[in-house]
């Protein structure tokens, strides 16, 4: 069975690494020939809007998916007429516009931040009056990892903020004062069966995910709420595959920040820390195979490698630290790999942390991580 | 860093799958273009005795290894003059001849079966007089998975046995009445540091490994003995990489059956059932990186798929069953994949066994497995 993936980045690479042992083979479609999934998949060089390329991919493969959320929904809709492709174009389109996304979740009774559509400086001024400061202005489309966002602290920021958007249709969101950030990674099969990973607690730095800890220490009530929201979305959209919902935690409430209609960075710990990874479960779902167990094996702490990967020998000398180098060139701000520390207990996790050489985690970073862990566990 | 592998079979494939997340890349040299490592490695088509091909591989790669033990030792010796290659030609040559292998281990005080070199029918007749019946005649070189072996039950078998050997230099071995078969998989680093996996108990059917259970239920004395023998060999030969020693257990003694100078089928459970797999540790060793922990996560039972892979949906519906399809064409007697059942306890293992559909494990096979497990655990 051959799986076609629109996009050939690290998510496609990790999908292929999870799928090859199942006997699956992969072809990725990407405009760039130098892509990191090329080590483990055949590459079809071409654009996501080129119908001839899309048809060629559909012909080569038995089932299709995508590895990032900015593939045009119209291309997925086009492919749906030729082959099974999951997730579907409707849910993808919903997630591609922050305004639509918020409306969709609100309609499913999932709390979202107060927000206003903003298409001009005048609308922005009026919206800040309604939502107050601080607040955050975001482009409705094509933002990720904190890109296309501007935080407004007071009326003096309004003009600069609007200028940053380059007249793009935007959304102003009230600033949510949250206790912490959690994400729910889940997979829905073609037959409607769903599996949920334990909630993951995320720590962002400069708008990019820096750390994930799983399972997060949460009440049963929060777990239930997250699963209820995930199920509501997935059933409404007849979703097939893995997805992530990112939430702000405010007291005992969850406020949806955004949804990723794909495997997600906050689920990378599942490769080493869960019985079945989010990648394998995505493939099982789209290939109409039974889903696998999502139980965590101990406690996992995932570190993203941003910009460059630390020296391999330093990473590998830490007991229980599993390295995932994406085979990408180093570049400032780029996600080039991650590593997951899997430990039997929180104490053992602390122990392994203490053994990290400075090249992996400076003492300042270690203190930061330790403080975050204490925030989580106390 | 690029790793070159002589041979492109499933062991090379699993090495590459373990090494890609470390940021390693792979080139395999194989005479056949249609090899299963080709999904995850660049392929150089060529013969192991062609010095031009060997040099081309050495030029492309930073470090070299091999994925099966019948690569000519002279080719490894040739490559040693150009690049780091592990394990070395001396230890490879030692394992390629059953007579040399037995002499080498005997010299290291590792018990081996009583045996005689046999080069003619007359010598065979005389050897059977010395060793008695039953006994087993084997070619000294190029045997694996029970090939090139003939069991002699009485004097009437002598002529047939000799005819089966086609005049190849052979060895007659006394028949060892053993309680069970264990293997010690271990890895030695370039700096001499060694790690040992828990002992694995193996069940063969028709000369091919059918099942492995790990950790085997053994006394501390047996564990100590196996590690002592493994260390003696590895230090004597300055071995670098992963290897396996297969033992017969006779009371509280271990008798060496044979050694594999490479990752081994009886260590496949480590992919899912140990903190670091035998494949990753082999790569860590040859690339001069720190070795990883060999601790088992629970109890693992590995099933070899011989001839064909069972339907994927049937395999995946068993909780905790991890599939490893080698991407090979089905063919009678061929190892085409394996799957490992990982469970928190022996009871849970039994439970998962009961959930196996008939397409994976017929009730007859299940009874067989259950009986073997009871033999092991009672």
Q: Kindly give the confidence (pLDDT) of every residue in chain A, 378 residues in length, as a single tens digit, with 9 standing for 90 and above.
A: 999 999 999 999 999 999 999 999 999 999 987 799 999 999 999 999 999 999 999 999 999 999 988 999 999 999 999 999 999 999 999 999 999 999 999 999 999 999 999 999 999 999 999 999 999 999 999 765 566 789 999 999 999 999 989 889 999 999 999 989 999 999 999 999 999 999 999 988 877 888 899 999 899 999 999 999 999 999 999 999 999 999 999 999 999 999 999 999 999 999 999 999 999 999 999 999 999 999 999 999 999 999 999 999 999 999 889 999 999 999 998 999 999 999 998 888 888 888 889 888 878 778 877 877 777 665
Tokens of B72: 């000519």
Q: Which residue of A has its CA nearest to B39?
A: A40
Tell me the shortest Cα–Cα distance from A331 to chain B, in angstroms. 16
Tokens of B177: 């009445």
Tokens of B370: 């259950």
The tens digit of pLDDT for each residue in B308-363 reads 999 999 999 998 899 999 999 999 989 999 999 999 988 888 888 888 898 888 78
Look at the alpha carbons of A40, B276, B146, B97 in this order and tell me if their dihedral is positive or negative. Answer: positive
Contact between chains at B325 and A22 (C-beta distance less than 8 A): yes
Please report residues of B whose CB lies closer than 8 A to that of A40.
20, 39-40
Half-sphere exposure of B112 (CA within 13 A, CB side): 23
Residue B135 β-bridge partners: B152, B174
pLDDT at A186: 98
Per-residue pLDDT at B208 exceeds 90: no
Residues with Cβ within 8 Å of B120's Cβ and at least 6 positions away in sequence, in order, are B162
Interchain contact B317–A (C-beta under 8 A): yes
What is the bridge-based pairing of β-strands B115-118 and B170-174? antiparallel
Among A22, A25, A319, select the one facing B323 at the smallest CB separation.
Answer: A22
Q: Which residue of A has its CA nearest to B298?
A: A297
Cβ within 8 Å of B, A 324-343:
324-325, 327, 337, 342
Contact between chains at B17 and A22 (C-beta distance less than 8 A): no
Contact between chains at B313 and A25 (C-beta distance less than 8 A): no
- CB contacts < 8 A, A to B, total 75
User: Following DSSP, what letter does each residue of B103-141 receive, concatenated?
Assistant: HHHHHTT--B--EEEE-SHHHHHHHHHHH-SSEEEEESS
Write the ipTM.
0.94
Burial class of residue A182 in the structure, from the number of CB atoms within 10 Å of its CB (0-12 exposed, 13-18 middle, 19+ buried): buried
> Which DSSP symbol is given to A156?
G
Tokens of B134: 């039953």
pLDDT at A232: 98
- Residue B144 pLDDT class (50, 70, 90 cuts): low
Q: State the virtual CA torsion across A292, A237, A174, A199 in degrees, nearest 10.
A: -10
What backbone phi and psi angles, to 5 degrees, belong to B66?
-140, 155
The tens digit of pLDDT for each residue in B153-201 reads 999 999 999 998 988 999 999 999 998 999 999 999 999 999 999 999 9
Tell me the shortest Cα–Cα distance from B303 to chain A, in angstroms. 14
- For tokens 């334990």, what's the residue? A198
Tokens of B153: 């039950």
Contact B30, B13 (CB under 8 A): no
Which among B21, B288, B320, B348 is the top mutation candidate for probing chain A, defined by the most A β-carbons within 10 Å of its own β-carbon?
Answer: B21
Q: Whole-model pTM?
A: 0.95
Burial class of residue B359 in the structure, from the number of CB atoms within 10 Å of its CB (0-12 exposed, 13-18 middle, 19+ buried): exposed
Contact between chains at B39 and A40 (C-beta distance less than 8 A): yes
Among B22, B289, B292, select the one facing A325 at the smallest CB separation.
Answer: B22
What backbone phi and psi angles, to 5 degrees, belong to A18?
-80, -30
What is the bridge-based pairing of β-strands A200-205 and A180-188? antiparallel
């Amino acid at each position: 069975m051959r799986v076609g993936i629109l996009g050939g980045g690290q998510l496609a690479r990790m999908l292929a690494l999870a799928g090859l042992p199942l006997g699956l083979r992969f072809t990725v479609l990407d405009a760039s020939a130098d892509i990191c999934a090329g080590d483990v998949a055949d590459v079809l060089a071409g654009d996501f809007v080129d119908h001839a390329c899309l048809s060629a991919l559909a012909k080569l493969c038995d089932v299709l998916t995508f590895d990032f959320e900015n593939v045009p929904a119209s291309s997925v809709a086009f492919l749906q007429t030729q082959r099974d492709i999951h997730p579907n174009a409707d849910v993808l389109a919903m997630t591609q516009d922050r305004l639509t996304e918020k409306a969709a979740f609100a309609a499913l009774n999932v709390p979202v931040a107060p927000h206003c559509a903003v298409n001009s400086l005048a609308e922005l001024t009026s919206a800040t009056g309604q939502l107050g400061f601080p607040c955050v202005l975001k482009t409705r489309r094509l933002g990720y990892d904190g890109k296309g966002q501007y935080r407004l602290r007071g009326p003096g920021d309004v003009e600069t903020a609007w200028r940053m958007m380059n007249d793009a249709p935007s959304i102003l969101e009230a600033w949510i004062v949250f206790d912490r950030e959690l994400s729910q990674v889940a997979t829905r099969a073609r037959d409607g069966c769903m599996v949920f990973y334990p909630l993951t607690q995320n720590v962002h730095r400069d708008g990019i995910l820096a750390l994930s800890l799983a399972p997060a220490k949460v009440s049963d009530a929060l777990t239930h709420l997250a699963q209820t929201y995930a199920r509501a979305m997935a059933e409404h959209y007849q979703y097939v595959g893995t997805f992530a919902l990112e939430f702000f935690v405010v007291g005992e409430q969850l406020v949806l920040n955004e949804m990723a209609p794909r495997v997600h960075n906050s689920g990378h710990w599942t490769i080493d820390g869960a019985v079945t990874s989010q990648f394998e479960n995505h493939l099982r779902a789209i290939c109409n195979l039974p889903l696998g167990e999502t139980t965590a094996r101990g406690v996992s702490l995932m570190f993203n490698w941003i910009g460059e990967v630390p020296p391999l020998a330093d990473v590998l000398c830490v007991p229980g630290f599993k390295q995932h180098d994406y085979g990408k060139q180093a570049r400032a701000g780029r996600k080039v790999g991650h590593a997951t520390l899997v430990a039997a207990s929180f104490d053992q996790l602390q122990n392994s942390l203490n053994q990290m050489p400075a090249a992996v985690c400076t003492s300042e970073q270690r203190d930061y991580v330790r403080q975050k862990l204490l925030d989580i566990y106390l």
